[in-house]
Structure 1
Amino acid sequence: MHYLTGSGHEKRAVIDGGIIQAPVSDRESMTLLIPPEVLSETCRVAKAMVDSGDGEEILSTKVRNGFLAPTPVSARRWLSLTSPDHDGEDDYFSSDLNDDQLQRSFGALPPRSPLCMLFSGSDEFVPKTIDQKASLKKWTDIIQKGKGKVDEEHSGVIDGATHDLGNNPENVINELVKRVLGFLDSLPTI
């Protein structure tokens, strides 16, 4: 999504299509992994760092309560991932984004680059309250409204699939492969 619609996308090479596999909201998944008081305090510290001009400095793992350790994360990046104001630079997949926000991402997909969206039906990073089929429909409608293209035949929710398909049965993995190959076969050849 970022490659096709994010900042600077106009200067990037044209691609024949894109596949989103296991789209997950960083913000919503963090609510499953971090106690709310820790998440709130970490965002407060990160915002204070950004406001004081230290946004590119690394947010300590102590402040993050060990989350994402040992990966260094700048305060600015933390706020982008957690998107406490619902405006993270790559907050594409949160279920509570409004139509205007979705229009700037999904609605801005170039028609020359169709999209295949593959949700993992048992994604451990998606809150149980999220209706993946409803998200797929909403995003498809926004894409089409913006004149973009979606491979509706091969997009969908893969029942039983986990986020990274680790330890998934062969039939689940085969379903993903079948959909990916179907999408690739549907792209125009030059």
Structure 2
Amino acid sequence: MRCAAARTCAVPSARWPPPPRGSANATSLTGLGDAITGGLFAGLTQAIFNGGRLRAQVRSNEAAADTAFANYKGVVLLALEDIENAIVALDSARRRETQFAIAYDAANASAILSRSQYRTGLTDFTTLNQQEAALLSAQNGLTQARSDQATALIALYDALGGGWDPSVVPQAPERGATPIFATEPR
């Protein structure tokens, strides 16, 4: 964009005749006044005959600068859109993770209660199986929500200009960090 603007500013200076300089042509004229007048006249006629070409070149350079600015503006708007979309996706994934965490805790408590009731003979195997299936479904939903959140965070990082190195293999979390299966209190 700077290059296009610099080209636009450089062309108008070519419209004006160059200042007179001493040269071999000036010695052949009869006086100093003739040398100055001759140099100015030659410069003016050159500027007059090239004026249309120079004006067209200025307009062309201005159009190139406008195009470069419009392209830059479009890229900035697309980048802002990517950032906004990534933030919305991350916020949505965080809300879903919170909801699935609540559902997982409830399903875990229900499964623990069903196991206890099954051992004492207060409920049948079908009820226990349904509670275990509900727990598994809640666990799958929570895992998917966490995966969506990680994906949205990566998209936000990328939209903000961060890089992603596919050669780096992420490490799995430690086993004791988060509960994977429902456990009964001891």
Q: What is the TM-score with the length of structure 1 in the denominator? A: 0.20
Determine which structure has the larger helix proportion and give its number: 2
Q: Which has the larger radius of gyration?
A: 2
